[in-house]
Structure 1
Amino acid sequence: MISERLQYIIDVVPILDTIADIGTDHGYIPVNLIKKSRAKKIIASDISKQSLQKAKDIIIKNHFENVIDTRLGNGIDILDIDEADGVIIAGMGGILISKILETSYSNKFINKKPVLILQPVQQAKELRYYLYENNFKITDEYVMQENNKIYHIIIAEKHHKIDDRYDKIAKHKDIYMEFGIINIEKKSELLSKIIRNNIEKIKILINELSKKSVEQQHIDFLKDRLKNMEDIYYETWGTYPKA
């Protein structure tokens, strides 16, 4: 039985010829992708020998040795040039995912522009900023909840120019980077709840800081962030959030 988070990732992976699962851990994603006929071949890699052995065990148990190749190594360095049509990097921080792409993407993908399926366990905003600043276009994204923890799943591809969608909403850019412009456009009930909770936390924090000797600049920053978040909520859901 795999977790809801991993199942969600599996469900949004498009059908591709060759997929690389970077940081495969126990190998649940590759095995289930093959079971669902989402790929003809999968490269499952991990920097940990112990984790990779666990992946090998489940691959052998399912008799998928001929279609899932395991490799020990760091990031996408384990790939040959233009070897994969899709790359999954899940279960890491957004900054680490950014570093993996920064270090090796341009060396490993010369003619291909693989679909990137990215699932940061934290720092989703930082990852979106990296993608934006390095000409990766987010083509879809999702937000889900498992055990009271929120996870973002980002689908992206290398683009020939910077994604100008964020320039059009420059005033609220930081908020859109935090929650995802496509996520907001989808108007999901979960995201509505997440933003409402964030708004309430900021209000409480402003109230607490106002009673202490805190620099006004910090309080003003929070008030500005609060207003931007409330504005986006109103523009999206047509009403201001209630406490």
Structure 2
Amino acid sequence: MELSKRLQAVADLVTSGNRVADVGCDHAYMSIYLAKRKSSPYVLAMDMNEGPLKRANNNIIKYGCQDLIKTRRSNGLEKVEIAEVDTVLIAGMGGMLIVEILSQDMDITKSMKELVLQPQSDINIVRRLLADISYSIIEENMVMEDGKYYVMMKAVPNNTVNESSFELTYKEHEYYGRMLLESKHPVLKTFLYKERNKCNRIISNLKDNLKVEALERRKEIIQKLELIEKALKYYE
């Protein structure tokens, strides 16, 4: 089974041999890939709606993975038991929803050996939550697919790593990813240049607008531009 570029980058972050909870499994393509290619002995494919679970079950049977993948209707991690899985995987959801899911039951979340996440938005808020619950982002990747940029990350409990190496020390770490910046990730560089150009255009368009809303917007964009410039210094 072949995954999209985005999903492949997410799957690559999962530790081989781990038991995985695939939250929001949809068609279960990720679950099937993990069972077949990542040696996951147990994958819990979960969704809160019956429709996706029915499609998931059909695909699981089609690919002969009934012994490795179990489906379960669940709102986020609600139906996951402590010590049932090693990895929580959440991909393709908004950052605020991911934060909500991880915050549902901290005993469950903090029992995980790793969290593999791919938020579609509010990525800085996801990174901040991970820091707040004592998880360190030890791997990050960024891909562009069909003209869109996607960030994916793997976080583990602080007590399993040298925490200081992964702290979100500066604001740009929170917004753009310490691992991505320190590795001078080429896709992030392209994204930052694109965002810088976008900010400069907005500032130029607002320069003669003296309305309160426009002035506030201009101030907001200037602050964003300053953060982008800090991030771009990593590439010098």
Instruction: Find 2:191's aligned residue among 185, 190, 194.
Output: 194
1:144 and 2:131 matched: no
Percent sequence identity is 27
For the residue of structure 1 that corresponds to 2:84, the secondary structure is coil
Q: Alpha-carbon deviation of 1:217?
A: 5.1
Give 1:237's aligned residue: 235
Matches within 5 A, 1:203-242: 203-215=200-212, 216=215, 218-234=217-233, 236-238=234-236
Measured against aligned partners, the alpha-carbon deviations of 1:88-137 in whole angstroms (never above 9, x if no partner) come to: 0111111101111111232x257x43210001122212211222223221
**Equivalent position amino acid for 1:48 in 2:** N
Matches within 5 A, 1:61-80: 61-80=62-81
Give 1:113's aligned residue: 112
Q: Alpha-carbon deviation of 1:230?
A: 1.4
Q: Alpha-carbon deviation of 1:166?
A: 4.9
Question: Could you say if the C-alpha distance between residues 103 and 206 of structure 1 is closer, same or farther in structure 2, counting changes exceeding 3 Å?
Answer: same
TM-score (norm 1): 0.87
CA contact (8 A) 1:17 1:85 kept: yes
**Equivalent position amino acid for 2:210 in 1:** S
Aligned residues: 230
After TM superposition, the structure 1 stretch with the greater mean CA deviation from structure 2, 32-41 or 68-77, is 32-41
TM-score (norm 2): 0.89
Give 1:157's aligned residue: 156
Question: Could you say if the C-alpha distance between residues 16 and 105 of structure 1 is closer, same or farther in structure 2, counting changes exceeding 3 Å?
Answer: farther
Q: Alpha-carbon deviation of 1:185?
A: 1.1
Matches within 5 A, 1:32-71: 32-71=33-72
**Equivalent position amino acid for 1:237 in 2:** Y
Unaligned segments of structure 2, at least 5 residues: none
For the residue of structure 2 that corresponds to 1:125, the secondary structure is helix
2: CA distance, partners of 1:214 / 1:167: 36
Give 1:24's aligned residue: 25
Give 1:129's aligned residue: 128
For the residue of structure 2 that corresponds to 1:231, the secondary structure is helix
CA contact (8 A) 1:94 1:124 kept: yes
1:97 and 2:106 matched: no
2: CA distance, partners of 1:221 / 1:25: 37
CA contact (8 A) 1:76 1:105 kept: no
For the residue of structure 1 that corresponds to 2:3, the secondary structure is coil
Measured against aligned partners, the alpha-carbon deviations of 1:53-87 in whole angstroms (never above 9, x if no partner) come to: 11100101111111101101111111112211111
Question: Could you say if the C-alpha distance between residues 180 and 7 of structure 1 is closer, same or farther in structure 2, counting changes exceeding 3 Å?
Answer: same
Unaligned segments of structure 1, at least 5 residues: 239-243
